[in-house]
Amino acid sequence: MKRVLLVKIPAWILTVAFLAIAAGVFIFALLAPRSVDLSFLSLPTSPSDEEFEYGPRTELGNAQFFRDAKNQLVAAKTTFIEADLSSMMLRLHKDGAILREVKILAKGKEGSWWETPAGLYRIETKIKNHFSGFGQVYQPWSMVFQGNFFIHGWPYYPGGAPVASSYSGGCIRLSTADAEEIYHLTPQGTPVLVYEKDWSADSFTYRENTPRVAARTYLVADLGNNFTFLDKNKTDALPIASITKLVTALITTEYLNLDRTITVTDRMIVPTSKPRLQIGKSYPIYDYLFPLLLESSNEAATALGIHMGSARIVALMNKKAASVGMRQTSFADPAGISDGNRASAEDLFMLTKYLYNNRSFILRMTSGRLGASAYDNPRFSNLGNFNLFSKDARFVGGKVGKTPGAGETFAGIFNLRVRNYEDEEASESVTTRPVAVIILGANDQMKDDIDSVLAWIEARYGKPTTPAQ
């Protein structure tokens, strides 16, 4: 006969055990790293129906687009971080509801190397106490997303003293207590939705007229309200020549340590307008940006491409183009030599908008007005500026290009003084507006064309100013 051992267990022990197991399951589900499926997120500028593009997204500077993206994430009960840089609030969402909401104490300074653009990212790495080699400070409870961008607590020096409230080296800074809580609640791989109101349409209006410009395609439009002054074949993709180097500079600043050096090899010595590199010499990566953007150096572009890997830099350039809404764009090399570097005027408008709102230091480099920087002055001396309008006080920045296949090309931004027509009576107030000028497939009269366009806008819509000679 089999005997069964029966043991009586008090009810309170069973209750405690059940609650402990349930709590363990809940904590594991909350904290365990897991992959996140965002295939449901049907945003209109995603590269394909099957894949959603992570990275900076110009569209997420638009309030309605941001709300739509957020609502889709909430409806799918996705765990994600919402960083609203306009209201300076960070929210952790879980199962369709806000789990935790904290105040953002500081963000990347506008126009700095660390400015955080709108976009959809992922938590790539978590570091309990990251040491910033540049700032020489510790950043407690750091969560890394998109390369050089961080969410972290209040930084402090090696001796333990906290940084001053005016210190602006961080990206998205929380109080240390809040950062620790968010850190423990956020698994690696969690999506991060960053929003800042950059370019939602305002109430500014124009009275329209359309002159003629001698180029295959062009687009002249206000960056603030998207008003189009002039356009022709704006969706046709054409070779863009050295305008390509603007995206080469973007990838360089976002993926490389600018303090590192590149030693010049014979492969980097290529035909260029003004040779500067010397075989065997080493220059900081930061220094290469100046001949790249000011003198349109093919040597600098080639050196950066070889250092990063030719295939990798081109892939990252194409990924960047897709992430900022450049739908007709493709890149083939970092210098813009190949006619395979193509974009539409509409695409390049999106690029200038992204640079203006998120990477304005690159524009200041192209205009020769960078000013004070976190880095030393470049070692290259007597740099020229080939960007045509560097002496024009209205020129914010941009890039020229020229190849046999592309003709002459230009993508730039000007601050123009125009009248603001608020009502039917046309009561006037003069203001300054950022206007993008994109010209592709032009002839050797391109500068005259651009001068004519600027003069027409200021004569038609505002008060002309005399450009510097």
- Print pLDDT tens along the chain (469 aa): 333 333 344 544 444 444 443 444 333 333 343 444 444 444 443 333 334 456 655 555 566 677 888 888 999 999 999 999 888 999 999 998 999 999 999 987 777 777 777 788 899 999 999 998 777 899 999 999 877 789 999 999 999 999 987 655 558 999 999 999 999 999 999 999 988 776 556 677 765 556 678 899 999 999 999 999 999 999 999 999 999 999 999 999 999 999 899 999 999 999 998 998 999 999 999 999 999 999 999 999 999 999 999 999 999 999 999 988 899 999 999 999 999 999 999 999 999 999 999 999 999 999 988 765 556 677 777 888 988 898 899 999 999 999 999 999 999 999 999 887 664 455 567 889 999 999 999 988 899 889 989 998 988 887 545 555 5
> How far is the C-alpha of 33 from the C-alpha of 275, rounded, in Å?
50
281: in domain = yes
Tokens matching residue 146:
């998109």
> How far is the C-alpha of 372 from the C-alpha of 359, rounded, in Å?
15
Supply the CATH number for residue 276's domain. 3.40.710.10
| Domain around 140 | 55-195
Axis crossing angle, helix 345-358 with helix 244-255, rounded to the nearest 10? 40
Residues 316 and 345 in one domain: yes
Question: What's the CA dihedral at 92, 97, 99, 105 to 10 degrees?
Answer: 40
Residues 244 and 138 in one domain: no
- In 34-170, DSSP assigns E strands to 55-56, 80-84, 89-94, 97-103, 106-107, 119-122, 125-132, 137-145, 149-152
Residues 304 and 449 in one domain: yes
207: in domain = no
Residues 131 and 231 in one domain: no
Question: What's the CA dihedral at 359, 361, 364, 370 to 10 degrees?
Answer: 180
- Taking CA atoms, 365 is separated from 114, 257, 362, in Å, by 16, 18, 5
Judge whether 262 and 286 are in contact, CB under 8 Å: no
Last-in-domain residue among 195, 230, 264:
195
Axis crossing angle, helix 244-255 with helix 285-294, rounded to the nearest 10? 170
> How far is the C-alpha of 434 from the C-alpha of 219, rounded, in Å?
14
How many domains in the chain?
2
Residues 286 and 166 in one domain: no
Residues 229 and 167 in one domain: no
17: in domain = no
